[in-house]
Amino acid sequence: MNSAGLVFLIVMILGVLALPRRWALLPLLIGIHFFPLTQEVEIAGVQMYGIRILLLFYLVRHFVRSESRPIEKTTLDRVVVYYCIGALLLSIAREPGRSGIMAGLGASADFALVYFFTRHFIHTREDVQGAMISLLITSCIMGFFMLVEMRREENPFSFLGTVHEMTQVRDGKLRCQGAFAHPITAGLAGASLLGPLLLWAWSQPRRNFMLLLAGGSTVATAIASGSSAPVLTLGFAAMALVIWNWREHTRLMLKLCVLGAIGLHCVMKAPVWHLIGRLSDITGGTGFHRVQIIDQAINHFSEWWLTGTTVTAHWLDFRTLPNDPNNVDITNQYVAEGVTGGLIRMFLFMWLLREAFLLCGKARAQAEATGRMDRAWLSWGWGVCLFAHVTAFISVCYYDQLHHMIPMTFAIIAGVHDEILRADSQETYAGAPAAAPQENLDWMSEAAEGPHA
């Protein structure tokens, strides 16, 4: 860690310890978006990168400031615990010895602490509002610096010493990356937030200005990355936003999509996932490699199904990682879950996704039933965010700071769900009437009055 990174880290630590509860997540969001994972120090033989150090100070804050509030535990909370314990045990089984223990402990602790502290700081309506404003602030700052990098063709975060000084170029196209290790992860950090930021901004004062900030920052980040995956993720997120008008039929649409995929698989000469390669012929990118990863994971199923595997270099000899000749670049989050923990970890990851989607649906239905349309749209927005991640997982394995956005997304979904249920129960107890939809939300209100409302 260089001197600039150390100063940056100290400022964020002070923010963790001093900021009021409403803004407590802001330092963590800044760390995820702007503090490279390669900025690290070694403490007692353990590599401690900036965000992990921040999480330790969040732990200090938790015990010193006594901010604990009762949390209604959900199935998602329990599955997070199962996932973290399973990831640790499977890491040890896959790679016995100190390296397996440290790798599993680090990954599980990171996931659990990001989830726990995000969940802890989202309890009331004010907490939700503070978290959304913090997300908008970091998104706007990131979008601005990505545009600066695209304009100057120099990375403004190179002063931290762990990212390229000159912007990458591929096929004549600039690929900006900001403080992230790769342009794709940088672009996905912005693209995945399109849904929640837009639908939250819709219910805010000065709506048009807030919508401009929310939409402009996320789109700018995705486009400046110069990568097809973030742009496609934007497209999937936009599609999910439009589906709001048919929200009562999402289960039917899901079943039709599954049946359609099965039908295509039966009639196509190649497996259905080979469409990824066809799509990359249009959008650009390395779709062929992504297709090969899925093919090889199936062909070598016997090697990883139980506890995962530590060697995948023989899957694709021409695509081994520069810093790890024993493994290929696994550009698929689902395959990566299996490679690092077998079918058990893959199943637990799928279970997490299922429970998160169910919470989004329950929160949306409850808020809509009581007339709290702003909360219904916010719940839908976080469902859109999760859907964006689910589609991106097919072609990207989340790493560097981006992988912290997975537990954070789960935790915000659970927190918004609890806030809606808690507010409704308090109104019922007090005998207060249900809140009416806000008048300034015309377009979404008209949608809600359609035949499916």
**Structure tokens of 24?**
């407590």
Contacts of 310 (CB under 8 A, 6+ apart): 94, 95, 326, 327
Cβ atoms of 416 and 349 within 8 Å: the answer is: no
Q: In the predicted model, is pLDDT for residue 88 greater than 90? A: yes
More reliable by pLDDT, 418 or 435:
418
Q: In the predicted model, is pLDDT for residue 447 greater than 70? A: no
Dihedral of alpha carbons 189, 442, 244, 369, sign: positive
pLDDT score of 378:
94
pLDDT band at 423 (very low <50, low <70, confident <90, very high): confident
pLDDT band at 434 (very low <50, low <70, confident <90, very high): very low
The half-sphere exposure of 28 on its side-chain side, counting CA atoms within 13 A, is 26
pLDDT score of 75:
94
Q: In the predicted model, is pLDDT for residue 422 greater than 70? A: yes
pLDDT band at 288 (very low <50, low <70, confident <90, very high): confident
What Rg value do the Cα atoms of the chain yield, rounded?
Answer: 22
Phi, psi values for residue 321, rounded to 5° = -75, 140
Which helix (H) or strand (E) segment holds residue 287: the answer is helix 287-299
Q: In the predicted model, is pLDDT for residue 104 greater than 60? A: yes
pLDDT score of 338:
96
CA 196-433-198 angle, to 5 degrees, is: 10
Average pLDDT on 102-113 reads 92
Q: In the predicted model, is pLDDT for residue 69 greater than 80? A: no
Average pLDDT on 192-209 reads 92
* pLDDT single digits (tens) 360-372: 999 999 999 888 8
What whole-number distance in Å separates Cα of residue 73 and Cα of residue 383? 19
Q: Output the average pLDDT for the chain.
A: 87
* pLDDT single digits (tens) 116-127: 999 999 988 899
Q: In the predicted model, is pLDDT for residue 430 greater than 60? A: no
| Bridge partners, residue 169, by sequence | 174
pLDDT score of 123:
87
Q: What is the DSSP secondary-structure string of 288-319?
A: HHHHHHHHHHHHTHHHHTTT--S--TTT-GGG
pLDDT score of 272:
85
Q: In the predicted model, is pLDDT for residue 222 greater than 90? A: yes
Average pLDDT on 386-398 reads 94
Q: In the predicted model, is pLDDT for residue 386 greater than 70? A: yes
pLDDT score of 133:
95
Cβ atoms of 82 and 348 within 8 Å: the answer is: yes
* pLDDT single digits (tens) 301-323: 999 999 999 999 999 876 778 78
pLDDT score of 437:
42
